[in-house]
Amino acid sequence: MTTYPQINGLRVKYLSADPANPETGQVWYNSTTGALRVDGIQGTGTWAAGGTMNQARDQFAGAGTKDDMIAVGGVNSGDKNNSEVYNGSAWTAVTVFPSTVKKSGSTGDTTSAANFCGGDPGAKTSTQHWNGSGWTAGGNLSQGRANFQGSGPHTAGIALCGQGSPTNTNCEKYNGSSWTSAGSIPTAAGIFGSICAGTSAAAIGAGGYYDLRPGGSEAQTALTFSYDGSSWSNVNSMNTVRYQAMGGGTQGSAYVAGYASGPTATTSEQWDGTSWTAGAAMAISRNTGASAAATGANATVAGGNNASGTIIATSEEYTTPVGTQSITTS
C-alpha cells in the first residue's frame, strides 16, 4: 500500500495544535482534536459588495486583480476618458486616458503596469501603457479591434478577436512593446464581446457574439476556445450563452459572470481547465461592465448596465476562501 511518506517524502507531523502558518497542501495530525488536517482547501465562493466607482459607466475595460484593478474609458452620456484604480476597498480617480474610448481591450495584472488597446470609435489599433501614474504610447495592434477582451500580464498579454472590418477571427499577443499574431479561433466567422483569460502562452476565450454577417446574422454563443501559445482549439462550451459578460483568470482557473440569454443576469460559471460549472450568483444583474481577476477564484466586477439598462457604478467582489479542513472518510 502506498503511504503518505512515499507520496510526499515526509511523514505526517504529530502536533498538539494546528500550525500558525501552514503551507498550501501541508498535512498534519492534530492530537488534541484527533483529526487529520490539511491546508489549502477552497471554500465556497461568494459575491459581496465592493467599492462604488466615482464614474458610473458601461462598455469599458479593466485590468489587474480583485484588489488591484484599473478601469478606463466607457460610456455614460458620451464616451469617457476617466481612469480609476481600486485598492480592494475604494476607487480613486487617476490620470485620465489620453482620449475618450469605449469597448477597448486590456492586459496587465497590476495597476502599476497595464495596457489598454483598441476600442471605439473606429476600431482603434493604438495601445497605451499605464505605469501607475501616467500614460505612454505602446505598440499598435495589427488589426483594429473593439468590443473585445484581453488578458495576461503587461509583457505577455493576449487580445481575443473583436469587432473590426469584418469581425476578427484572429488574435494577437503583446510582449510589452509590440503585438504579433496569436493565430485565429477555429470558426468560420469572427466573435466579439467574449471574455478572455490567461496569457500569451496559455489562454481561453469564451462566449460573445458569433458574427456571421454578411449573409448571416449575429448569434450569442457559449463557445469556448483554448490557446496553447501557438494555436486555438475548441474546448467544452459554457453552460449558457453569454455576451458582454465579465470574466477573467487563467487558462486553468477562470470565471464568467453576467449577461446570459437575457439582457442581464446574476449567474456565473467557473472554468477548471476542462469544463464550466455553475458558480455563485451576483446580487445585482449586470452586463458590459469590467473585470479583474488573477484566477477564477477571486475577482472584481464593476459598472455596466443593471437589469433596467441603467448604467451603474457599483462593484461586486468574488472571493473564494482557502483554509484548513479535517480529512474525513465518507
List own/partner pairs for 18-22 with CB under 8 A and 24 or more apart.
18/324, 22/324
> Nearer Cβ to other proteins, position 137 or 322?
322
112-141: which residues touch other proteins (CB under 8 A)?
none
Rounded Cα gap, residues 43 and 153, in angstroms: 27
Measured from the CB of residue 28, what is the shortest distance to other proteins in angstroms? Answer: 27
Binding-site member from 169, 288, 291, 298 for other proteins (CB under 8 A): 288
Select the span of 17-25, 51-59, 107-115, 200-208 touching other proteins (CB under 8 A).
Answer: 51-59
Measured from the CB of residue 127, what is the shortest distance to other proteins in angstroms? Answer: 23
Residue 284 near other proteins by CB under 8 A: yes
What is the enclosing helix (H) or strand (E) of 30? strand 27-30
> Nearer Cβ to other proteins, position 140 or 324?
324
Binding-site member from 26, 52, 81, 236 for other proteins (CB under 8 A): 52
Measured from the CB of residue 188, what is the shortest distance to other proteins in angstroms? Answer: 23
Amino acid at 290: A
Binding-site member from 25, 132, 186, 309 for other proteins (CB under 8 A): 309
Residue 278 near other proteins by CB under 8 A: no
Note the residue count of the chain: 330
Sign for the CA dihedral angle at 42, 260, 76, 81 comes to: positive
Measured from the CB of residue 164, what is the shortest distance to other proteins in angstroms? Answer: 16
Select the span of 3-11, 165-173, 231-239, 282-290 touching other proteins (CB under 8 A).
Answer: 282-290
Residue 77 near other proteins by CB under 8 A: no
Amino acid at 44: T
Rounded Cα gap, residues 105 and 119, in angstroms: 7
How far CA 114 is from CA of 147, 148, 153, 214, 329, in Å, comes to 18, 16, 7, 35, 46
> Nearer Cβ to other proteins, position 73 or 183?
73
Rounded Cα gap, residues 191 and 167, in angstroms: 6
237-256: which residues touch other proteins (CB under 8 A)?
243-244
Which residue(s) pair with 318 in the sheet?
A: 47, 299
Measured from the CB of residue 186, what is the shortest distance to other proteins in angstroms? Answer: 26
Rounded Cα gap, residues 137 and 177, in angstroms: 9
Residue 93 near other proteins by CB under 8 A: no
> Nearer Cβ to other proteins, position 127 or 305?
305
> Nearer Cβ to other proteins, position 187 or 266?
266
Residue 75 near other proteins by CB under 8 A: yes
| Pairing mode, strands 276-278 and 268-271 | antiparallel
CB atoms within 10 A of CB 184: 15
Q: Are 58 and 303 in contact (CB under 8 A)?
A: yes
With CB under 8 A as the rule, give the number of residues binding other proteins: 33
Measured from the CB of residue 163, what is the shortest distance to other proteins in angstroms? Answer: 11
Residue 16 near other proteins by CB under 8 A: no
Binding-site member from 21, 262, 328, 330 for other proteins (CB under 8 A): 262
Q: Are 201 and 156 in contact (CB under 8 A)?
A: yes
Residue 100 near other proteins by CB under 8 A: no
Tell me 226's DSSP state: E
Closest to 276 in 3D by CA, of 205, 170, 208, 189:
205
Measured from the CB of residue 288, what is the shortest distance to other proteins in angstroms? Answer: 6
Rounded Cα gap, residues 302 and 121, in angstroms: 22
Query: All 3 cell numbers of residue 68?
Result: 488591484
Contact residues: other proteins, CB under 8 A: 44, 46-52, 59, 75, 89-90, 243-244, 259, 262-264, 266, 280, 283-285, 287-288, 305-310, 314, 319
